[in-house]
Chain A
Amino acid sequence: QKEVEQNSGPLSVPEGAIASLNCTYSDRVSQSFFWYRQYSGKSPELIMSIYSNGDKEDGRFTAQLNKASQYVSLLIRDSQPSDSATYLCAGGAINTDKLIFGTGTRLQVFP
């Protein structure tokens, strides 16, 4: 099993809909998780971090962490075409400071 796994997509949603991005992780990943957005040809940009079980909301974004299921998700409400990008899920590796990234999910929001 990969340490952090994501579906590569693309995930296509209409403008105004909720986009749901998912990520699973292995036992080699700790309990701190991060979602990054990466536009084509650009560097990753931190959107959300989540450390505790449950939901964390920031504007149109909600991160969800379920430690029992080793599952992290990112919900984007009222999706806009400008949200079209690759979304990277990252988790902190056990006993280290490094982040382990998934391969990313490409999101396409169409008008």
Chain B
Amino acid sequence: DAGVTQSPTHLIKTRGQQVTLRCSPKSGHDTVSWYQQALGQGPQFIFQYYEEEERQRGNFPDRFSGHQFPNYSSELNVNALLLGDSALYLCASSLGTGTGYTFGSGTRLTVV
């Protein structure tokens, strides 16, 4: 049973560039949430997708956008990268609401 898979595992981008991160949820899960975790901090909620719609959004600028596909997989796009966007980006899937997430292994993004 495959868990949550994310790609790529590591990425180095230049300030101002754009990046796309990908996530496949755990089998049977229909909801995907994205989190940003800076070094030494807890994960911060970016947004959540359900039925191909953005259901909720955290305090992140419009440079952060996403998409969910019919097979429940999801993408996170970040435009006009800033140095402060360097972090571990975590995808988490769940079935329904009020349940704990299953996290993927994350994508380590470094902006130089």
Residues of A within 8 A of B (CB): 4, 8, 32, 34, 36, 42-46, 49, 88, 90, 92, 96-104
| Contact, CB under 8 Å: B58 / A101 | no
Identify which of B31, B43, B99, B104 contacts A101 (C-beta below 8 A): B43
Tell me whether B71 is interfacial, beta carbon within 8 Å: no
Which residues of chain B are near A43, meaning CB under 8 Å? 88, 90, 103-106
Q: Report the Cα distance A42→B90, complex, angstroms.
A: 10
Which residues of chain B are near A46, meaning CB under 8 Å? 100-103
Q: Report the Cα distance A84→B97, complex, angstroms.
A: 30
Tell me whether B68 is interfacial, beta carbon within 8 Å: no
Tell me whether B70 is interfacial, beta carbon within 8 Å: no
18 further A-B contacts with Cβ under 8 Å, apart from A46-B100, A97-B55, are A4-B42, A34-B100, A34-B101, A42-B105, A43-B103, A46-B103, A88-B42, A92-B98, A97-B31, A97-B48, A97-B56, A97-B97, A97-B98, A98-B48, A99-B101, A100-B45, A101-B42, A102-B42
Tell me whether B61 is interfacial, beta carbon within 8 Å: no
Number of B residues whose C-beta is below 8 Å from A?
A: 25
| Contact, CB under 8 Å: B103 / A96 | no
Which residues of chain A are near B97, meaning CB under 8 Å? 97
Shortest beta-carbon distance, A108 to chain B, in Å?
Answer: 16
| Contact, CB under 8 Å: A45 / B103 | yes
Shortest beta-carbon distance, B24 to chain A, in Å?
Answer: 14
A-B complex: 5 closest residue pairs judged by Cβ atoms: A101-B42, A43-B103, A98-B45, A97-B97, A46-B100
Shortest beta-carbon distance, B93 to chain A, in Å?
Answer: 12
Shortest beta-carbon distance, B57 to chain A, in Å?
Answer: 9
Q: Report the Cα distance A44→B106, complex, angstroms.
A: 9
Nearest B-chain residue to A96, judged by Cβ: B56
